[in-house]
Amino acid sequence: MYVAVKGGEAAIANAHALLADRRRGDRSVPALRLDQIVEQLALGVDRVMSEGSLYDRELAALAIVQARGDMIEAIFLVRAYRTTLPRFGYTRAIDTGAMLVERRVSATYKDLPGGQLLGPTFDYTHRLLDPELAAGGEVAEPLQRASDADAMPRVSAILAREGLIEPDGDMPQDHIPGDITREPLEFPMARDIRLQALSRGDEGFLLALGYSTQRGYARNHPFVGEVRIGEVELELDVPELPFAVPLGSARVTECQMVNQFKGSTKAPPQFTRGYGLVFGQSERKAMAMALCDRALRATEFGEDVVAAAQDEEFVISHSDNVQATGFVEHLKLPHYVDFQAELDLVRRMRAEHDARENAGKAEEKREAAE
Amino acid sequence: MRGQEARDQQLERKAVMATLAQSTGDDIVRLWNEAGLPSEAEFLRGPETGLVTVRGRIGGGGAPFNLGEATVTRATVRLASGEVGHCYVLGRDKQKAKLAAIADALWQDPTRRTEVESKLIAPLQAALASRRERRRAETAATKVDFFTMVRGED
């Protein structure tokens, strides 16, 4: 017999009202404005944009405040919002070589054209908590220096001149970039689709996998050829205009990981590459993505697939934190009927088990008595 | 020759659109009001917000892949004099999209072009250029100057 039950409507409504109250917190403390979050929690906003896969700072800030700072909940909100909007098209591919660079460092070349630009980095800070920040002190304007408007070629171009590095990844001429928002995932997948999945993947998950490759699970000797952060211009082809429409600029982080490669039956000894590209200023994520991209190319280079980071189905199926949280968190929702069935089953098995035990004991007793 | 002229004009129009897209809605509204430009137009479409999928390239210069979505607001307007203006800009600022579409239409009217360029586009371009220059100079101040340590006597 199937019995439908209803209930909890008042409890749910009251819980949501309580959530709204707790979200606001102490009313004597001023409420956060979205521009404060955009300006002062900018890297949190960038993470929500990158993993929410939607470039819109104000929406990401709204999601963060609505989620009480729970980043995965905020990412979930942004993903849900995306589905309500029509899609106007695909932009032309961005040119990271023409980026208005705000940070650019290379761990492989000291004197590369354009130089090492540290930008607004946490690197080389002492990681000491700053009491002055807590006291809300004034912050000085940054220093300026005349900039030589040097072109800043991607570091891969420098190694390419010697022919010691593989070229940028190509796909067949007539290949249309796959889109995981339109087609279900299928394995094995092409590298373009994998990169789309990795770019919106969970930072923590990809970081841990990247770390695992460094610790020896699919070791591939990485160097940061280059990390660059800055704004790139977006352009869209539309039917009503004879040229690509400039849409404005978006900030992205790009990581070119350079990996040593001894060569195999498929390729000569050379440097191979992993690529990372994410929305916003998100260096750790771009680096983790590049490490994972390289590890996932194992079969392409004839390497043995021995570690989790090389297992495409494992990595890509578990990299999306919205899917992951959905499936893990659904466990707390009512499973009364499922559980009732399990309970009946366990009771029956236990009864059968006990009956067997008792029968066995009775047999022993009988044998002992004889 | 005519083809070349038409292409030059397209490039100029694109540059005007780029300036409007890069500028903030607040700056556009302020200059619009100061210039007293007309904000009346018939909407043929929008302003409406949707998504574009941003594409990157594998390795920076290889085959394209889909990076993620961005919000874009678009509008198409027609002036009483017949010019049709278009606008697509990042974000959800409908007022900005509306004014940018009208600016595109006004710019196509040869009798209004100079006014639009001098009172709206030129000041926006100047503000963008100085913002960009400041960014560059601030970044340049964080450039590493390597020097070699001399060890030992002579």
pLDDT tens digit sequence for B24-49 = 999 999 999 999 999 889 999 989 99
Q: In the structure encoding, which two tokens stand for residue A18, read together?
A: 């309580």
Q: What percent of chain B has pLDDT over 90?
A: 85
| Residue A264, pLDDT score | 75
Angle in degrees, CA A70, A210, A309, rounded to 5: 105
Whether A64 is in a domain gets the answer: yes
Residues of chain B in contact with residue A85, where contact means CB-CB under 8 angstroms, are: 49-51, 71
Q: Which of residues 40-99 of B touch A (CB under 8 A)?
A: 49-72, 74, 76, 86, 88-92
Whether A144 is in a domain gets the answer: no
* Residues A59 and A112 reside in one and the same domain: no
* Residues A219 and A284 reside in one and the same domain: yes
A169 closest CB neighbour out of B22, B53, B63: B63
| Residue A296, pLDDT score | 96
| Residue A315, pLDDT score | 97
Whether A142 is in a domain gets the answer: no
Task: For CA atoms B60, B65, B70, B75, give the dihedral sign.
Answer: positive
* Residues A244 and A297 reside in one and the same domain: yes
A56 closest CB neighbour out of B13, B70, B88: B70
The answer to whether residue B22 neighbours chain A at the CB level (below 8 Å) is yes
Q: In the structure encoding, which two tokens stand for residue B45, read together?
A: 């479409």
Q: For chain A, list residues with pLDDT below 50.
A: none
| 8-state DSSP, A90 | E
**Number of compact structural domains in chain A:** 2
| Residue A155, pLDDT score | 82
Beta pairing partners, A256: A226, A275
pLDDT per residue as tens digits for the range A154-194: 888 777 887 888 888 888 888 999 999 999 999 999 999 99
- Residue listed under structure tokens 């129009």: B13
| Residue B154, pLDDT score | 56
| Residue A28, pLDDT score | 97
Concatenating the DSSP letter of every residue in A268-319 gives: -SEEEEEEEEEESS-HHHHHHHHHHHHHTTTGGGT----SGGG-HHHHHHH-
Whether A352 is in a domain gets the answer: no
* Residues A104 and A194 reside in one and the same domain: yes
ipTM: 0.93
Tell me whether residues B21 and A248 touch, CB distance under 8 A: yes
Q: Cis link prior to A188 (omega < 30° from 0)?
A: yes
* Residues A103 and A71 reside in one and the same domain: no
Report CA-CA distances (Å) from A79 to A53, A202, A227.
Answer: 7, 13, 27
Tell me whether residues A146 and B21 touch, CB distance under 8 A: no
Give the mean model confidence (pLDDT) for residues B87-106: 97
* Residues A314 and A178 reside in one and the same domain: yes
Query: What distance in Å separates residue A116's CA from the closest CA in chain B?
Result: 6
* Full residue range of the structural domain in which residue A218 is found: 96-122+149-326
Distance CA A228, CA A100 (A): 10
B89 closest CB neighbour out of A89, A100, A248: A248
Q: Cis link prior to A239 (omega < 30° from 0)?
A: no
Beta pairing partners, A235: A246
* Residues A307 and A284 reside in one and the same domain: yes
* Residues A171 and A313 reside in one and the same domain: yes
Contact call for residues B20 and B103 (beta carbons, < 8 A): yes
Query: Would you call A324 exposed, middle or buried from its count of C-beta atoms within 10 A (0-12, 13-18, 19+)?
Result: middle
* Residues A117 and A254 reside in one and the same domain: yes
Distance CA B55, CA B75 (A): 23
Distance CA A81, CA A62 (A): 11
* Residues A42 and A163 reside in one and the same domain: no
Residues of chain A in contact with residue B139, where contact means CB-CB under 8 angstroms, are: 101-103, 117, 119, 147
| Residue A111, pLDDT score | 85
B89 closest CB neighbour out of A82, A100, A247: A247
Whether A132 is in a domain gets the answer: no
Distance CA A237, CA A244 (A): 4
Q: What is the amino acid identity at position A10?
A: A
Residue pairs between chains A and B whose CB atoms are closer than 8 Å:
230
Contact call for residues A37 and A45 (beta carbons, < 8 A): yes
Q: In the structure encoding, which two tokens stand for residue B88, read together?
A: 């697509």
Residues of chain A in contact with residue B14, where contact means CB-CB under 8 angstroms, are: 243-246
Give the mean model confidence (pLDDT) for residues B77-98: 96
Whether A78 is in a domain gets the answer: yes
pLDDT per residue as tens digits for the range B101-129: 999 999 999 999 999 999 999 999 999 99
Beta carbons within 8 Å of B78's beta carbon, 6+ residues apart: B41, B42, B44, B84, B85, B105
